Amino acid sequence: MKGAICYYSGSGNTALACRYLAAKMEGIEFDLIDVTEAEAVDTGAYDVIGFAAFTDFFGPSQVFLDFVDRLPHQDGTPAFVLSTHGFISGKTLRIMEASVAAKEFRVVAGHALHTPESYPPMIVRGRDNEQAPNAKELSAFDTFISELRRRLLDSQAGLGGASRPVRISFLNSLMPSRPRTSARKDMGEKYVDEALCTECGICEKGCPYSAIRLDPRPVFDMKKCYGCWSCYNHCPEKAIYTKKFRGVGHYPRPIDLLKEKLRV
Ligand SMILES: Cc1cc2nc3c(=O)[nH]c(=O)nc-3n(C[C@H](O)[C@H](O)[C@H](O)COP(=O)(O)O)c2cc1C
Ligand code: SF4
Ligand code: SF4
């Protein structure tokens, strides 16, 4: 059986979770596809497609939704959804499920994994969640993976393999989706420390919303900016800052503790 997992990962937690899941899916070989690098996917080449994204203001990021929107309509191709979150995922899984179902994938399962926080303002407030996932959360993820594997293999063997509705907690269902303008406003204007910037272009290349132009240092287009903090998190010199946050709270890649827990 051949599968693909299409993922959007700002700082690597989600990518790590996808690699962990793929390694545990004995009997199903997965290609991992970064949605920021793939204009299109040949969905017909796969028996199952996984969709993974991190929670970005209680929902999946627009770059993920745009990717799903570009996919061709299906005829019930089995799919699953996976999200990671640092605090509370809100309706992320529901929104992911709805976007995938709108393309007529048959969503068989979904899971939200608690992971360390990548949102600098939360990290600065001491809410880094470095211990996530705890033993119970990791065990729930393992159970999700083994049930998903069984369901997909049963389905391929003609043994049923029924879908399981994607469930989110009551608390998550109460979380409102925040308009993107407020996320952008929360982050506010970005500035560049000219003494630190080496004009390397990493921020421009990595901005998922093409909101940065190098001239010769980054210039931000606030109309396009999504407030995703990717440029802030990934600048190797920590040269990008905002009115409230400077040189603190960066999360450029998964911490060692998470890498250890999701080692394959
Ligand atoms: C811009 C931004 C918004 C976020 N919003 C939320 C949120 O609403 N709820 C939450 O639990 N975590 C939120 N997070 C934390 C991430 O979802 C979490 O750390 C995730 O594991 C990051 O995955 P990644 O490393 O694959 O990007 C946010 C992170 C960023 C950068
Ligand atoms: S990533 Fe940092 S150092 Fe590189 S160009 Fe952008 S601001 Fe300058
Ligand atoms: S400019 Fe920075 S915060 Fe805005 S969308 Fe691009 S990477 Fe994200």
Ligand 3 in reach of 249 Cβ (< 6 A): no
Please write the tens of the pLDDT for every residue from 10-32: 999 999 999 999 999 999 999 99
What pLDDT does 161 receive?
Answer: 62
Q: Is the peptide bond before 216 cis (omega within 30 degrees of 0)?
A: yes
Nearest protein Cα to ligand 3, atom 4: 225
Residue 55 has pLDDT above 70, yes or no: yes
Q: Is 119 in the pocket of ligand 3 (CB under 6 A)?
A: no
CA 229, distance to chain mean position in Å, is 14
Choose the residue to mutate in 64, 186, 197, 229 for probing ligand 3, maximizing ligand atoms within 8 Å of C-beta.
Answer: 229
Mean pLDDT for 82-90 is 96
pLDDT digits (tens, 9 = 90+) for 201-225: 999 999 999 999 999 999 999 999 9
Q: Structural domains in the chain? A: 2-174+255-261 (3.40.50.360), 180-242 (3.30.70.20)
| Type of residue at 32 | L
From the CA of 229, which ligand is nearest? 3
Spatial distance between the Cα atoms of 207 and 227, rounded to a whole number of angstroms: 10
- DSSP H or E run through 30: strand 29-34
The residue to which tokens 């879908």 are assigned: 163
* pLDDT value at 251 more than 80: yes
Q: Verify whether ligand 2 is closer than 6 Å to residue 239 (CB atom).
A: yes
Which residue among 5, 8, 16, 117 is best mutated to probe the pocket of ligand 1, counting the most ligand atoms within 8 A of its Cβ? 117
What pLDDT is attached to residue 239?
98
Tokens of 46: 């796969």
pLDDT value at 173 more than 80: yes
**pTM score of the predicted model:** 0.96
